[in-house]
Amino acid sequence: MAKHYRLISQDTVQVVVPWEQATFDRLRQGPFDRDWIRDARDMTVAIFRPQRGHFPALDAAPLTRRGETPSDWFLLPDPKHYHRELYGLDLAESDLWIA
């Protein structure tokens, strides 16, 4: 099958936005597990993986119970970078608009 089709790699990450502040604050505390992901789904925006240091507005997700850092989940702690009306991220430091 690989001979006939070329797959497009989708290197995306999940960004949890402060849509509902109380839930967002609870998610920041962790731990990152199945329940955390379930609770974060409604407040998540998928974006292409940023280059190292490209989006300084993003924080890593909380640690897992084993002390590991998830590599494809991030938090957007500053609500000024999220536009509720447009359902998009405005990461001015990177001159990038994602909607």
Per-residue pLDDT tens for 15-31?
Answer: 898 888 899 999 999 99
Give the dihedral of Cα atoms 22, 61, 59, 26; nearest 10 deg: 10
Determine the Cα–Cα distance for residues 82 and 22; give it in Å rounded to an integer: 16
Per-residue pLDDT tens for 23-62?
Answer: 999 999 999 999 999 999 988 888 877 666 566 678 889 9
Burial-class residue 4 by CB neighbours within 10 Å (0-12, 13-18, 19+).
exposed
DSSP readout, 75-89?
E---GGGEETTTTEE
In sequence order, what are the residues at sequence separation of 6 or more whose Cβ sits closer than 8 angstroms to the Cβ of residue 34? none
Range of lowest pLDDT (39-43, 84-88, 93-97): 93-97
